[in-house]
Amino acid sequence: MRVAVLSDIHANLVALDAVIASLGSVDAVWHLGDVVGYGPEPDGVVERLRQLGARGVRGNHDAAALGGPEIAYFNPDARRAMEWTRTTISAVTRDWLAALPERFTDGAFTAVHGSPREPIWEYVTSASVAAENLAAFETPYCLHGHTHVPVVFRERAEGRLDALRPEGDARLELGPARALVNPGSVGQPRDGDPRASYLVLDTEPATAEWRRVAYRIADTQAAMREAGLPHFLVARLEVGV
Ligand code: ZN
């Protein structure tokens, strides 16, 4: 089975459409949360994911969009964008977000937004944080997002992991070692490459293929300006940080 894994789309419909156009043949689409927040087209992104029959999990921005207390931890720009998101999203979008679970398991994969032990909030930013999370999932592999940086943490020896950061398009056989795998962000990459990032999984044998896709960043920025979203969020898209 081939599965496209999309994370942190953040209401960036132009980026999502570029990714969809690049998918080729896949059997399923999974998403790892933060479908909304920051970006200008939350309803459009949810509509696309509904059309694709995407299966996914809830991120901290999705929880905040539903009125959750998570907004209290946002920085001022993220909070302003979230207040705008809350007033903009349709009832259909709200219901769809509300139905997202915090995790799901399918075959060899567990899917979460942040980390398996703290699915909404924890950032898996290092091999040591990844190691602390090995006990929090039972499958060989865990898919996670939240940091907006493509990376895989693989177990080298009992409880010891190393970090491998794919640059650009990269393919990796996951092999027998347990691993935490991050596809990077579709809608707001933060690894210095502004192109949308996602991955395609092959399940037999387990292989991860990271892909980068250029999209019309200026179109998303124009929509953000029109919506009155914070300038910092507009500017960061073109540098990918
Ligand atoms: Zn995010």
CATH number assigned to the domain comprising residue 124 = 3.60.21.10
The answer to whether the Cα torsion of 132, 137, 138, 140 is positive or negative is: negative
194-204 pLDDT, tens digit per residue, is 999 999 999 88
Encode pLDDT of 99-114 as tens digits: 999 999 999 999 999 9
- Asked, for residue 110, whether it belongs to a domain, the answer is yes
| Spacing, Cα 195 to ligand 1 middle (Å) | 15
Largest CA distance in the chain: 52
Does the pLDDT at position 151 exceed 90? yes
Q: What is the pTM of this model?
A: 0.96
Within a domain: 67: yes
| Residue 209 included in any domain | yes
Domain-embedded: residue 175: yes
Is residue 28 a contact partner of residue 1, using CB atoms and an 8 Å limit? Answer: yes
Count CB neighbours of 229 within 10 A. Answer: 21
Report the separation in Å between the CA atom of 226 and the middle of ligand 1, taken as the mean of its atom positions.
22
Is 36 inside a domain boundary? yes
How far is residue 175 CA from its own chain's centroid? Answer: 23
Average pLDDT, the chain: 96
Q: What is the pLDDT of residue 184?
A: 98
Q: Which two tokens stand for residue 230?
A: 């914070």
* Cβ pair 153, 16 in contact under 8 A: no
Name the residue range of residue 87's domain. Answer: 2-236
**CA quadruple 180, 184, 190, 196: dihedral, nearest 10:** 170
pLDDT in tens, 156-191: 888 889 999 998 889 999 999 999 999 999 999 999
- Asked whether residue 241 is domain-assigned, the answer is no
Please, are residues 56 and 32 in contact by the beta-carbon 8 Å criterion? yes
Residues with CB under 5 Å of ion ligand 1 are: 8, 34
Q: Provide CB contacts within 8 A for 15, sequence distance 6+.
A: 9, 186, 187, 196, 213, 215, 220
At residue 157, the pLDDT reads: 85
| Spatial distance between the Cα atoms of 200 and 194, rounded to a whole number of angstroms | 19
Compute, in angstroms, the gap from residue 205 CA to the centroid of ligand 1.
29
Report the domain count for the chain: 1
CA of 207 to the centre of ligand 1 (A): 24
Strands 206-213 and 170-173: antiparallel
Decide if pLDDT at 123 tops 90: yes
With bands split at pLDDT 50, 70 and 90, how would you rate the model's confidence at 54? very high
Residue 23 pLDDT more than 90? Answer: yes
User: Does residue 72 carry a pLDDT above 90?
Assistant: no
